[in-house]
Amino acid sequence: MPKAISHYVSTDNISLHYIEYPHDNAPIILCLHGITANCHAFDGLVAKGLNKDYHLYAVDLRGRGLSSQPAFEYAMEDHAADIIALLDALKIEQVILMGHSFGGLLSYFLASRYPDRVSKIIILDAAAEMHPDVIEMLAPAFSRLDKNYPNWETYLDAVKAAPYMTFWSDDMLSYYKADVKTLEDGEVTPIPNIAHITQCAMGVSNEAWEVVIPTIEQPAILFNAIEAYTLDQPILPDFKAQETVAMMKNCRYQAIDGNHLTMMYENGASEIVAATRAFLQHE
């Protein structure tokens, strides 16, 4: 696994943490993670070579990872303002966005609201409508929040026992290490807290995605994880993904092995990297 370079930038009274995989003169991809995730959510794609052709940045969104945790302001426009401020600080005029889940929705929002700053979008399992039971399906992932574990090993055992963890990959380790902080007594607890994540979820529900997404004109690709996540069903049914693809002027659909989480590792990651390369090279 290539080693990421860690950075911080101050924007609008908060500090954003991001990692970078430099590649001189290569197209820039900015990676936006899921609702409770962190910047290392894309390490499985890096392990399969995404950084070989692209200069990658991956950011910890506010309230997650090593970025600041303001008490309020977790709407989509707040996250989008952070990303534009980050691009300004890095002096990047236009970027390719790669977003997983919540980060995919944020990519739609940015492409619509700031079209001059976004050249293309790569969406990983995010659509105008997800499975109707999406909140229940995400409950096992949310249940780890605001909970203390006796030590790192106990936390990792709980992670591996989650119903959506159909296999374990060592490429997941950096992501889960970045998910927790160690307390003074040696216990560990996840960094995201349920109050902030609830605000994020409300921000998603407050957007009229069926209005936002059809305004997107940039070339796009939507990767859809086709295997069951929880409740024996995928979190994004294929027909819902296809409906979102049809909303956009220039979007293609690609089914991917794995579920909403495991698509980011091993076979799914290899498929995403290969299809991303083909998409970007032929657009």
pLDDT of residue 256: 98
Q: By three-state DSSP, how is residue 168 classified?
A: coil
Q: Is residue 61 part of a domain?
A: yes
**Per the domain annotation, does 151 fall within a domain?**
no
Considering the domain boundaries, does residue 168 fall inside one?
Answer: no
Positive or negative: CA dihedral 216, 88, 96, 1: negative
Phi and psi, residue 154, nearest 5°: -65, -45
Q: Is there a domain that residue 155 lies in?
A: no
- Which pair of structure tokens corresponds to residue 67? 């970025």
* Integer Cα distance of 156 and 25 in angstroms: 38
Task: With respect to residue 241, please indicate whether it lies within any of the assigned structural domains.
Answer: yes
For residue 283, the model assigns a pLDDT of: 58
> Domain range for residue 241?
5-133+193-282
Please state the domain count of the chain: 1
Residue type, 13: N
Helix count and strand count (H, E) for the chain: 10, 10
With a CB cutoff of 8 Å and minimum separation 6, the contacts of 153 are none
Q: What pLDDT, on a 0 to 100 scale, did the predictor assign at position 272? A: 98
Position 139 in a domain = no
Q: What are phi and psi of 8, to 5 degrees?
A: -130, 145
CATH of the domain at 80: 3.40.50.1820
Residue-level pLDDT, tens digit, the chain, 283 residues: 788 999 999 987 899 999 999 999 999 999 999 999 999 999 999 999 999 999 999 999 999 999 999 999 999 999 999 999 999 999 999 999 999 999 999 999 999 999 999 999 999 999 999 999 999 999 999 999 999 999 999 999 999 999 999 999 999 999 999 999 999 999 999 999 999 999 999 999 999 999 999 999 999 999 999 999 999 999 999 999 999 999 999 999 999 999 999 999 999 999 999 999 999 998 5
DSSP-derived secondary structure letter, 140: H
In a domain, 160, yes or no: no
Take residue 166 and report the two structure tokens written for it: 């159909």
Q: Determine, yes or no, domain membership for 147.
A: no
Give the pLDDT of residue 1.
77
CA angle 223, 228, 232 (to 5 degrees): 150
Give the pLDDT confidence score for residue 11 in this predicted structure. Answer: 85
- Any alpha helices (H) in 92-133, and if so which ranges? 102-113
